[in-house]
Structure 1
């Protein structure tokens, strides 16, 4: 018999390594473009995350570990003192509201533009993004990125480690390394963006090397129990075209299996897919599963899909758009209350309170 909303396993307490969590529901990282032009989070971001502090774990939005990694305007960073101080205001607000936060570290690679970062984007190979890039003056053609040298690779690995230390200094419980969605680490994984012939290109065992080096460096910097990693097998966003998904990700997961990382975060997880089942068998630690819900948010916000993934071996369920529109999502799922719909997708990225902090909680809706 299917669980009724109030007795779902989603609401059971659990642990993420040494970190106790009051429930198994994670807020997935969601880019919202509300930082300042200098990448500094402000009070509006603090209010947004504090509204959603009932999540078992908040994974804060993709945040750049260095200047060249910036993707779009008003993306937060974690590589300057001002950015660290801005994030500290966010984590303090969330902690006062009873929440816990990890910070996603996201380097855009070729997904970037000099008008956003002041620098030419970098990538494993000089292959441009096959689409335009949003900049303060409008959308512009993507540039041919600069191919990373081995020295660039080493310095970028070091930047991720420094960013992780900065995140802990800003009050985060840990960090998530973003190796998904067509950003830099994913660009190293995919053959259509990685044409290298050195130790970082060619067979899957070489293409995973950069990701593994970043994971090891970040784990060494702050402790593996504070580090997660996100992957999105088969995802075609940002011009990625994988041709060996079924072999690539088992290779990557096996290479990371002995690192002791806090979790593996799997995007578009489907418990019926053989690749999900193989990854679950290969990964020895906590699995956070982000269910494949399709373009329309289901009426239950993803609760049933999440329960299926828990039954298939996931320990935590990450939901994105449901949290975007419902700051009190946990209570709505627990009681079976109706959900706020996502309003005006354009407002997701345009700044200000509209479509950000003005979604009504249940009490206001009543």
Structure 2
């Protein structure tokens, strides 16, 4: 195994935070929050501590409210127990030398009535997604949503801001807004899910309104240098597509750039699938944003090294590779072998497939 001097392994300044390398642990839903409280716990802390060598850890999606939950045993950031649970995690990660952002999340229509006390999920429009979610007993079709009313929207925006404030209380170094993969902000952005006839639907200018209101609300309680957002312009994840990705995401990213947030984290192509599913100019998107660009989706070691070397990305996020390889940074640095992912343990369960993957020294 050889050491590699690539810029991928060199420090980077993200906002006002210095990262030791440009490898990001992507947000990864694992469904292991404490039943009853949906709080992170000691096992969560062990899992993230093992991966603290990442330049930056972005937490699993963390719902901003009970209504924002779409999957069984995903953690929240709206109750004292959840703040305390995450504080244990961030303290543990910091003690191991790591840096960690909270990904705050509202799933919108990608939910099930069993997770919402029998109620319907909310969405920009009452259009059901052809998608599934994870509930007690396994995967199930999502429940058809109802459209948010105009007078409800400010309250949902406020929930994002409250969650960001709670992330500070919980000791996170920053926040990533989940604006990707067919969840609520992405639903507003994409006309396949948003067919409103009011100020939040129709034109690209109207469809970016909700996401920008969320950003602006958070910026009243949170420093812009520690704020980013995840986007997936052409991903059909959770049955959420748009007819005009270049127009709507070009406008959205331009407005985000004006606000001076630290980064955009971009799923290039179909989430977990082809990178070329729809033609899209990723270079133009990157150039339209003044902050850092985190690239994601299907990156290998060689592709990541090339992207950073050629200026196509400032940082590269890895997902499933971090699940199976807690020491992924060192494995990539040495060009070492990777553990095989146990897909049967991705969602729910305990230690197996969560904190028992070996590091290089253990695997030798």
Who is 2:143 aligned against? 143
- 2:324, 2:142 → 1: CA distance? 31
Shift of 1:163: 0.2
- 1:328, 1:140 → 2: CA distance? 34
Who is 2:179 aligned against? 179
- 1:16, 1:131 → 2: CA distance? 35
RMSD: 1.7
Tell me the SS of whatever aligns to 1:221: coil
- 2:241, 2:3 → 1: CA distance? 39
- 2:185, 2:3 → 1: CA distance? 38
Cα displacement string for residues 187-238 of structure 1 (whole angstroms, at most 9, x for unaligned residues): 1011111010001000111101101111111122111111100101110111
Shift of 1:178: 0.6
- 1:8, 1:95 → 2: CA distance? 26
Tell me the SS of whatever aligns to 2:281: helix
Match of 2:298 among 287, 292, 298: 292
Who is 1:298 aligned against? none
Shift of 1:274: 5.1
Who is 2:350 aligned against? 352
- 1:9, 1:364 → 2: CA distance? 27
- 1:258, 1:17 → 2: CA distance? 14
In 1, are the aligned partners of 2:104 and 2:178 still within 8 Å (CA)? yes
In 2, are the aligned partners of 1:289 and 1:318 still within 8 Å (CA)? yes
Shift of 1:5: 4.7
In 1, are the aligned partners of 2:190 and 2:207 still within 8 Å (CA)? yes
Shift of 1:292: 3.3
Who is 1:16 aligned against? 14
- 1:170, 1:204 → 2: CA distance? 35
Q: What TM-score, normalized to structure 2?
A: 0.94
Cα displacement string for residues 128-174 of structure 1 (whole angstroms, at most 9, x for unaligned residues): 12234332144444322121012211001110000000001000011
Q: Say whether residues 1:361 and 2:343 are aligned partners.
A: no
Q: Say whether residues 1:249 and 2:255 are aligned partners.
A: no
Shift of 1:323: 0.8
- 1:354, 1:151 → 2: CA distance? 45
- 2:184, 2:101 → 1: CA distance? 20
Who is 2:268 aligned against? 268
In 2, are the aligned partners of 1:131 and 1:141 still within 8 Å (CA)? yes
Shift of 1:348: 0.5
Q: Say whether residues 1:232 and 2:244 are aligned partners.
A: no
How has the CA–CA distance of structure 1 residues 85 and 324 changed in structure 2, closer, same or farther, with 3 Å as cutoff?
same
Match of 2:287 among 262, 281, 285: 281
- 1:249, 1:132 → 2: CA distance? 26
Who is 2:88 aligned against? 89
Who is 1:40 aligned against? 39
In 2, are the aligned partners of 1:326 and 1:361 still within 8 Å (CA)? yes
In 1, are the aligned partners of 2:110 and 2:131 still within 8 Å (CA)? no
In 1, are the aligned partners of 2:124 and 2:187 still within 8 Å (CA)? yes
In 2, are the aligned partners of 1:64 and 1:77 still within 8 Å (CA)? yes
**Please, which runs of 5 or more residues in structure 1 have no aligned partner?**
294-301
How has the CA–CA distance of structure 1 residues 55 and 141 changed in structure 2, closer, same or farther, with 3 Å as cutoff?
closer
Q: What TM-score, normalized to structure 1?
A: 0.93
Task: Map 1:148-163 onto structure 2 (within 5 A).
Answer: 148-163=148-163
Tell me the SS of whatever aligns to 2:339: coil
Moved more, 13-22 or 239-248: 239-248
In 2, are the aligned partners of 1:161 and 1:221 still within 8 Å (CA)? yes
Q: Say whether residues 1:107 and 2:106 are aligned partners.
A: yes
In 1, are the aligned partners of 2:24 and 2:55 still within 8 Å (CA)? yes
How has the CA–CA distance of structure 1 residues 217 and 346 changed in structure 2, closer, same or farther, with 3 Å as cutoff?
same
Cα displacement string for residues 247-276 of structure 1 (whole angstroms, at most 9, x for unaligned residues): 2210111121111101111112669x7520
**Please, which runs of 5 or more residues in structure 2 have no aligned partner?**
270-274
Q: How many residues align?
A: 354
Tell me the SS of whatever aligns to 1:126: coil
- 2:123, 2:3 → 1: CA distance? 45
Tell me the SS of whatever aligns to 2:94: helix
- 1:74, 1:61 → 2: CA distance? 12
Q: Say whether residues 1:309 and 2:315 are aligned partners.
A: no
In 2, are the aligned partners of 1:68 and 1:120 still within 8 Å (CA)? no
Who is 2:272 aligned against? none
